[in-house]
Amino acid sequence: MQIKKIDDFQWLLPRTGSMRVPGIIYTNESGLNAIKKEETFKQVCNVASLPGIIKASMAMPDIHWGYGFPIGGVAAFDWETGVISPGGVGYDINCGVRLARTNLEEKDVRPHLRNLINALFREIPSGIGSTGSLKLTNSEEKNVLKKGSLWAVQQGFGHASNLERTEDGGCMPDADPETLSKRALERGKKQLGTLGSGNHFLEVGVVETIFDLEAARAYGLFEGQVTLMLHTGSRGLGYQVCDDHLAMMTKQANKLGITLPDRQLVCARIQSEQGRHYLSAMACAANYAWANRQILMHKAGLVLMDILGISPNTLGMNLVYDLCHNIAKKESHIIDGKKQIVCVHRKGATRSFGPGHPSICPEYRKVGQPILIPGDMGTASYVLAGTQRAMEETFGSTCHGAGRVLSRKAAKKASRGRSIQRELEDLGILVKWTGRSTLAEEMPDAYKDISQVVDIVHGAGLSKKVAKLRPMAVLKG
Ligand SMILES: Nc1nc2c(ncn2[C@@H]2O[C@H](COP(=O)(O)O)[C@@H](O)[C@H]2O)c(=O)[nH]1
Ligand SMILES: [Mn+2]
Ligand SMILES: [Mn+2]
């Protein structure tokens, strides 16, 4: 497959065959070598062949293979003529990250760390298929699906001020619970307030370095500060929505009038009944995920206060931001000098809206929206800020994590004969986990070097480095 260097951070996959637009990969020379080129480039090119795609099929430096669309992929489709694809959103609809800051410093927490991680492990249900203490009635579940984070706040989980620090206020419009299958609703009733499995985590961290003082001040971050980072999504409900709609769209794939290069790219016109049906169900799952993260972060704050024996004022917990990295959104962007309404698919990619964007809350608007980039449980995570350049080049998007370099199977093999827990403890990081293979599959070597990935999006101007966080204690699914 042909690839041409555009500059130090951008590579072009020129149009060939059925591609309607070119592919663009954001990475550098060494990042390019780390990508499994055949399978991932092919996925970028396949996405470029879908109807209504605008500008380019893009990939961020954390790119790796995904179902149909690559993880780390960004693609925008014209709202009138384009398509929506469940594989372009992913199975875990609105999987995302939220970060809370506290008034505490490492020295306040370090002596209690073992008790803290044990208590978090007790209080936050985790693992595949885990169920929570919240058992929803049918009508309560429908309210969750319609209201998202607001529902959680109304039940006493967190504060109303959290909403404006959540992407889209923690609620996508047009969420109609009647679009969900019985099975999806059934799965959702028992799983609200649970972390999930494997890659999902709750992490106690500390701000190690500040790169951009003005943005860090706006976000309320300072060196030595203790933070809580949460990564989870819409659990079995979101999975079921994706699965249901893949099956429905596959049945009616002939309606699209094109031959798909890969069956996993199955999609529907945005302006079709099927397209609208999926978007409404996706919005329900997105709202469920926001409520889930709102509940879990509140619970984590209660555990911190209990273990440290401190008051809410001493803890001073405040949401920095909450973002989704598996979503399709109706957005307005300037394309070739003209405003255009598009459906931006970000699958393993994060919104990166720059300074002045009206959707950013007033405290952050001057510096751009916060972006939360988890790395891995043994290295680091980053806080970045959105940029104008991202608005111009990538429909306001950047990377979402380090991205895997080892498959789960390869990671398990590479961990044989090692104690990942001990390796992490030697670095001062405590870890508790639920799944039998989680620690091996999720070990730091399974992921790309987060600092390199972040240096690429910073160098490419898609987002700006604000702060680096170091993990202290990690709860994994
Ligand atoms: N700080 C931590 N980051 C982690 C951990 N496990 C995974 N990760 C990073 O999160 C992203 C999430 O990507 P997804 O596609 O799996 O949703 C992943 O790429 C890693 O970089 C962790 O325990 N702590
Ligand atoms: Mn997820
Ligand atoms: Mn995720």
377 contacts 203 by C-beta, under 8 angstroms: yes
Q: Which of 203, 231, 381 to probe ligand 1 with, by most ligand atoms within 8 A of CB? A: 231
Measured from the CB, is residue 289 less than 6 Å from ligand 1? Answer: no
- Relative to the CA of 379, which ligand 1 atom is closest? 1
Q: Which of 325, 447, 452 to probe ligand 1 with, by most ligand atoms within 8 A of CB? A: 447
Angle (deg, nearest 10), helices 138-147 and 182-191: 90
- Relative to the CA of 95, which ligand 1 atom is closest? 17
- Summarised one tens digit per residue, pLDDT across range 224-276 is 999 999 999 999 999 999 999 999 999 998 888 888 999 999 999 999 999 99
Ligand 1 mean position, distance from CA 374 (Å): 5
What is the pLDDT averaged over residues 86-106?
98
Measured from the CB, is residue 281 less than 6 Å from ligand 1? Answer: no
192 contacts 134 by C-beta, under 8 angstroms: yes
Percent of the chain surpassing pLDDT 90: 95
CA–CA distance, 232 with 476 (Å, rounded to integer) = 10
- Relative to the CA of 233, which ligand 1 atom is closest? 17
pLDDT at 206: 98
Measured from the CB, is residue 71 less than 6 Å from ligand 1? Answer: yes
Instruction: Kindly state the tokens that stand for 228.
Output: 């809580």
Ligand 2 mean position, distance from CA 96 (Å): 7
pLDDT at 37: 85
Q: Of 228, 229, 160, 233, nearest to 192 (Cα)?
A: 233
Marked catalytic residue, from 245, 277, 298, 400: 400
pLDDT category at 36 given cuts 50, 70, 90 is: confident
Q: What angle do CA 90, 95, 97 make, to 5 degrees?
A: 145
Measured from the CB, is residue 474 less than 6 Å from ligand 1? Answer: yes
CA–CA distance, 298 with 195 (Å, rounded to integer) = 13
Model confidence, pTM: 0.98
CA–CA distance, 171 with 160 (Å, rounded to integer) = 13
Measured from the CB, is residue 96 less than 6 Å from ligand 1? Answer: no
CA–CA distance, 153 with 80 (Å, rounded to integer) = 35
Residue 38 has pLDDT above 90, yes or no: no
Q: Which of 67, 92, 97, 376 to probe ligand 1 with, by most ligand atoms within 8 A of CB? A: 376
Measured from the CB, is residue 97 less than 6 Å from ligand 1? Answer: no
Angle (deg, nearest 10), helices 182-191 and 273-308: 10
Residue 156 has pLDDT above 90, yes or no: yes
Angle (deg, nearest 10), helices 273-308 and 235-251: 170
Residue 266's alpha-carbon distances to 58, 249, 262, 332, 423, in angstroms, are 19, 6, 8, 25, 43
* Phi, psi dihedral angles at 369 (to 5 degrees): -70, 150
Name the binding residues.
92, 199-203, 231, 325-326, 374-377, 381, 400-403, 476
Ligand 1 mean position, distance from CA 157 (Å): 25
* Phi, psi dihedral angles at 329 (to 5 degrees): -135, 145
Q: Of 21, 15, 72, 89, nearest to 50 (Cα)?
A: 21
CA–CA distance, 87 with 155 (Å, rounded to integer) = 33
DSSP state of 70: P
Architecture of domain 4-476: Alpha-Beta Complex (3.90)
Ligand 3 mean position, distance from CA 96 (Å): 5
CB under 5 Å of ion ligand 3: residues: 95
What is the pLDDT averaged over residues 165-173?
98
What is the pLDDT averaged over residues 450-477?
98
Measured from the CB, is residue 447 less than 6 Å from ligand 1? Answer: yes
Ligand 3 mean position, distance from CA 231 (Å): 6
**In 162-272, which residue ranges form alpha helices assigned H by DSSP?**
182-191, 213-219, 235-251
Active site residue 400: yes
Measured from the CB, is residue 124 less than 6 Å from ligand 1? Answer: no
Q: Where are the domains of the chain?
A: 4-476
Ligand 3 mean position, distance from CA 347 (Å): 9
Residue 292 has pLDDT above 90, yes or no: yes
Residue 143 has pLDDT above 90, yes or no: yes
Residue 442 has pLDDT above 90, yes or no: yes
pLDDT at 395: 98
Q: Which residue is it, tokens 């390199």?
A: 452
The ipTM estimated for the assembled molecules is 0.99
Residue 429 has pLDDT above 90, yes or no: yes
